[in-house]
Structure 1
């Protein structure tokens, strides 16, 4: 879980000034060795660009950014975690999609001697260079780092201090030597999400200070462009809490180097990010966590003149196209819409964490166009949303009007459309303040033959940004059936009847929590349970079932997005499990 957040005042970043500079260059068509140009312009000196823009301007020019996750950082090899090898075409695509920089996480441990002199294998170093050079050749800023080494061997620094420090120094000595003549559009990041075993935050910050100082010294003394290359220093865990960012401010101040950048990560309010403890919605708690985080970044770092690169952002485990989405689509869209706004107004450059979730590396196509469109739109403007992206109509009941709450986000509501047809205000919908009501007659027409599932899609449109899609959905209360299985997994036959599963509550008769997450009755989506819509089933996982008390009956309450709930009982007897309808 990310650290505790504190409120404060947000500041506007340098992006507008930078944008005016780059627009001026484009307008007057400067050429040759002029410095006022974005990386990738023909004839432009990257070093000169960095000198003129300065650290803040360079970091602003890196917005937006993208991570090549689960590739060069995969263990033990590049393709070990299911992604194909990186290609030049991949970076061509990223550049064409509007990204200005990429972060290339690199895990070195599997390609390096674990004993002195800690030599990095030449083929691996050459492969990293090849990928870096592909990205640089596309005019992208590039960040490389020491990634999963953080928990593989760096975390043992408290008990193996001298060896860890020597290996860390040797690692960066070799990286710095390899890339010392690379253009200054290449940045180095000390270490990803630094952590140290069995330490307090105060102790961890001391170890991190030692690593960051070593990193800084090694790179600066390595010569070439490394003398002034931008270096990124993380907070402990890359956590953007005031308590963890404050020591980083002190460290950056002590190094007296203007070419330093702070880096943090953000994955949202934890219960919402993974769908646990009832965190199904991007509600006021989740929103406050986000605004407090960016406020703290603004007050703690940016207000002190320190550029900030959010090296990773997203939602934990979302989207995962190998499993049903644990975060509902509309709620995720709200999250990414607001995050883009907070980053812009605070002046933070953001790097989307993409382990495979967003871009299909084989086809070079976005897996979810609506999701990436919202992320991209939020780079420049706000979009209006609503309290839900679905209107559920029970098939067993007469259709009545349905009301949603609009969230214009400072925009003006323009009306409701179905495709190219604008619905008639008064007849098809009414608006009262922020309440949008779809009439019974319009919903009857949109529902058509009332087959289970989505019958029609309409859009609430606003004066800017993307429209908010509303799915008119027919459902009936889901029906579960009895089941038998083992602690290896229980498949519960389920007729979803057009509904969608939101969460699962699990308790014993005495009121205590039942399952592998003991601190809340609401178990984690895709970890304790998972719907299988094509297979007409809900799966209870081995992790969940093995955590149940032997012989004790657990009462499960399945919560669906229509508002329907279904109660079910599960009893474990040794290695056998029985599920019964309540």
Structure 2
């Protein structure tokens, strides 16, 4: 992934670079010099037996995990709040991962002028981290990461200098890791893009980078002569034309130890919750199925292994902000991706940006164990899901029967539980056509208890295999919005949520045109234009959204909630002042 920031640190002198090269030749760098305290070179080496064939080797790397926002942080390893430790790799291996991708940004540690030397200390640190991972019997993918947009993207306008620096970088990496085992893979560049270039020029430039990378590494000898090399598409995108371009490059190199890589973060509207992408619907499912079918047809079916170097959702999880992707809908994505990857034989690497997302690097615990359980389960089996993970009961109305549609995913429904109590079919629920699960009014009355706003009970739909699907019984009434005044840098709408959950927000001017910073759709991006603040009973309209509004024009906001409730609200900006007015139901 790309993170905004850039800095540069001056490189070492020529003498230091020569000394480093001598250490590599003598075998005194890497695992010998950098073994864990009290360890030895032998303890730091991998004992994994790597299959000779690239397809088998990449298959043995499944599943994989990214040490994200660490060595790729700008300008230094700890700049984004993470630090690599050997304990992290022990945890990852114990949790069932077989490989790790270690993204590295080199720019702040490489001279920007010839001979483009990399700091010895930084190269040693990268080597230490790589060796820690291999000592835990993990395959490692090592790359050139945010350099892609910091300076490599300028190859279209400063070709010779950028290519010389790129080649010098891979020459030094190849020398430092020359004698590492085949459990170490090299990846040419992360998500490459090119400034001010036509489509044809971009294709030519990426082919040149991938080809030059291949030439430099193979010419360095030692273990690099047969090392698995990972080549990417433009921006890591799995589109037909870009993967066709990469296939052409790989075929031309006539090397059976090459691997194709792309990234997948789901259908964009769903991944960030914009343009109404509030559910993992047919558009999102089809986007995933089509992407993996292309990986199969373009690469796997032709004997070229695919390493999905990053996957996840761009807006989920983020435990520092309200969840922009509804939890159950996110679980459907992870379950589906694991299945699709197994179906076509693609190795998948979860993008983990650090403590606030998946693995807490300090405690070595999963921030959300239940979420990780779904990811882990998808590696080996399918799980049943449902059309939604909540059943909403409007408090002001009498309770009636409510239902969800089961997505069996090849499983069989085994029953419904509330805690340790199995609900009785016919009395508590009815199953129609094996997939339509309807809870009776009697069961919902009992489960909702005193009918306090919010979740009254959590049920489990269990299936013949995989994980159970949770269904929350939620009591709600339509939320209530109130009038407000404020400034463009701080404006909130008083909101009585009354048990409901915000899904999305539309914004339109009086003439029907779209309002807000995302002007190609009326449905604005969750957490970027608006954000629920449940503890403080408000909806936040962000400064970015408000500053994008036309001055003096009324904007009609429509808030959509997961219960199905829709509320309208008027906002008008005058200079830096904002006035909000609740629209009463007609």
TM-score normalised over the length of structure 2: 0.91
Structure 2 residue aligned with 1:27: none
In structure 2, how many angstroms separate the alpha carbons of the residues matched to 1:118 and 1:568? 57
Query: Structure 2 CA distance, aligned partners of 1:44 and 1:557?
Result: 58
Q: Which residue of 2 aligns with 1:440?
A: 441
Offset from partner CA, 1:102-159 (integer Å, 9 cap, x none): 0000000011111111111111111111111111000000011000000000111110
Matches within 5 A, 1:511-550: 511-550=512-551
Match of 1:71 in 2: 70
Alignment of 1:161-560 (within 5 A): 161-356=159-354, 357-433=357-433, 434-560=435-561
**CA RMSD, Structure 1 to Structure 2 (Å):** 1.5
Q: CA deviation at 1:452?
A: 1.0
Corresponding position of 1:22: none
Tell me by how many angstroms 1:489 deviates: 2.8
CA distance in 2: counterparts of 1:48 and 1:492, whole angstroms: 57
Contact 2:402 2:438 in 1 (8 A): yes
Separation in 2, partners of 1:134, 1:47: 13
Paired residues of 1:47 and 1:183 also in contact (CA < 8 A)? no
Shift of 1:435: 0.4
**Take 2:535 and 2:126, find their aligned partners in 1: how far apart are those partners?**
41
3-state secondary structure, aligned to 2:216: helix
The match for 2:138 is: 140
Deviation at 1:211, TM superposition (A): 0.6
- Residues of 2 paired with 1:79 and 1:532: CA distance? 30
Verify the 8 A CA contact 2:392 2:473 in the aligned structure 1: yes
- The verdict on how the C-alpha distance between 1:402 and 1:462 changes in structure 2, with shifts beyond 3 A counting, is same
Check conservation: 1:46, 1:184, Cα contact below 8 A: no
Evaluate the alpha carbon distance shift between residue 44 and residue 193 of structure 1 in structure 2; reply closer, same or farther with a 3 A threshold: closer
CA offsets 1:428-462 (integer angstroms, 9 cap, x no match): 00000110001111111111111111111001111
Deviation (angstroms), 1:317: 2.3
C-alpha displacement at 1:488, in angstroms? Answer: 1.0
Measure the CA separation in 1 of the matches of 2:518 and 2:389: 29
The alpha-carbon deviation at position 521 of structure 1 amounts to 0.2
Instruction: Give how far 1:480 is off.
Output: 1.3
Distance in 2 between the 1:73 and 1:285 partners?
33
Say whether the 8 Å CA contact 1:396–1:476 is kept in structure 2: yes
Deviation at 1:374, TM superposition (A): 0.6
C-alpha separation between the residues in 1 aligned to 2:222 and 2:242?
Answer: 33
| CA shift for structure 1 position 63 | 0.3
CA offset digits 1:504-526 (Å, max 9, x no partner): 00001100001000000000000
Measured in 1, the distance between the counterparts of 2:45 and 2:483 equals 70
Secondary structure of 1:450's aligned partner: coil
**1:28-53 Cα distance to aligned partner (Å, 9 max, x none):** xxxxxxxxxxxxxx999969933x44
Query: Given that residues 506 and 559 in structure 2 are in contact (C-alpha distance below 8 angstroms), is that contact kept between their aligned partners in structure 1?
Result: yes
Mapping of 1:83-162 within 5 angstroms?
Answer: 83=82, 85-162=83-160
Q: What does the per-residue CA deviation read over 1:342-386, in whole Å, with 9 as the maximum and x for residues that have no partner? A: 000000000000102111112111111221111100000000000
Q: Give distance in 1, aligned partners of 2:551 and 2:43.
A: 72
Q: CA deviation at 1:183?
A: 1.1
State the alpha-carbon separation in 2 of the partners of residues 76 and 484 from structure 1.
41
Q: Is the 8 A contact 1:489 1:545 kept in 2?
A: no
**SS of aligned partner of 1:459:** strand
Q: 1:382 to 1:53 in 2, by over 3 A?
A: farther
| Counterpart residue number, 2:55 | 56
Task: State the shift of 1:465 in Å.
Answer: 0.4
Name the TM-score, length of structure 1 as normaliser: 0.91
Q: SS of 1:144's equivalent?
A: strand
Q: Which runs of 5+ in 2 are unaligned?
A: 2-41
Rounded to whole Å, the distance in 2 between the matches of 1:369 and 1:225 is 39
Aligned to 1:571: 572
Q: 1:144, 1:545 → 2: CA distance?
A: 42
Q: Which moved more, 1:354-363 or 1:437-446?
A: 354-363
Answer whether contact 2:232 2:260 (CA < 8 A) is retained: yes
Structure 1 residues 115 and 44: CA distance shift in structure 2, 3 A:
closer
Distance 2:47 2:100 in 1: 18
Deviation per residue, 1:312-333 (Å, 9 max, x gap): 0011121111101110000000
Decide whether aligned partners of structure 1 residues 284 and 440 sit closer, same or farther in structure 2, where only a CA change above 3 A counts.
same
Q: Matches of 1:334 and 1:141 in 2, distance apart?
A: 28
Q: Which has the higher contact order (CA 8 A, sep 6+)?
A: 1
Distance in 2, Cα, partners of 1:49 & 1:532: 52
**Contact 2:100 2:138 (8 Å CA) reproduced:** yes
5+ residue gaps, structure 1, are 2-41
Corresponding residue SS for 1:49: coil
Superposition pairs for residues 28-67 of structure 1, below 5 Å? 49-50=49-50, 52-67=51-66
Tell me the equivalent position of 1:23.
Answer: none
Instruction: Describe the SS at the equivalent of 1:506.
Output: strand
- CA distance in 2: counterparts of 1:81 and 1:519, whole angstroms: 32
Local SS of the residue matching 1:516:
coil
User: Structure 2 CA distance, aligned partners of 1:411 and 1:192?
Assistant: 38
